[in-house]
Amino acid sequence: MAEGRLKIVVFGSFNAGKSSFIQALDPGSRHIEATSGEGSTTIAFDFGRLQAEGQAVYLFGAPGQERFEFVREILERGMDGAIIIVDATRGVDATTRHLYDRLKELSVPFVFMANKCDCSDAVPGDISRDMPGETVYPISAHNGENVRAALDAFVATLIAR
């Protein structure tokens, strides 16, 4: 960790809410996306910055599609921590498990954010059950619920290390 600043990479499956999470924290965040008949998707990365717990926090949102694995590998370099965004209406999928295994392999501190908890079919408890012993914060990037508090709690754990 460079003194006074943290690099946190935000991972997750396609359409889990990574871009929305970063935008909820930094409305001026930047992202590169492509649009198609099915909507839009991040094709490079999102970037946001803010102050948390007296630190400059730089958030890098990695694209969720498998074909962008090389972008995730680039973003991993020098990260101080990671967040895995999980769509609480879909639960833990193969991509989430792959990301989990990769972060464990890298020995990087990370947490799960159970996103879309504002949806009636969200079941954040399923994520805790599927990832026993791991920290899971219920959030809604759409309306901002618990987003800042969850990030601040994670940053505090990174600083305490």
Model confidence over 104-129: pLDDT tens digits?
A: 999 999 999 999 999 999 999 999 99
State pLDDT tens for residues 62-96. Answer: 986 777 777 767 788 999 999 999 999 999 999 99
Q: Is the pLDDT of residue 42 over 50?
A: no
147-160 vs 18-25: helix crossing angle, rounded to 10: 90
Q: Which residue has the higher pLDDT, 35 or 20?
A: 20
Where in the chain are the domains?
5-160
pLDDT-derived band at 28, boundaries 50, 70, 90: confident
Task: Write down the CATH number for the domain with range 5-160.
Answer: 3.40.50.300
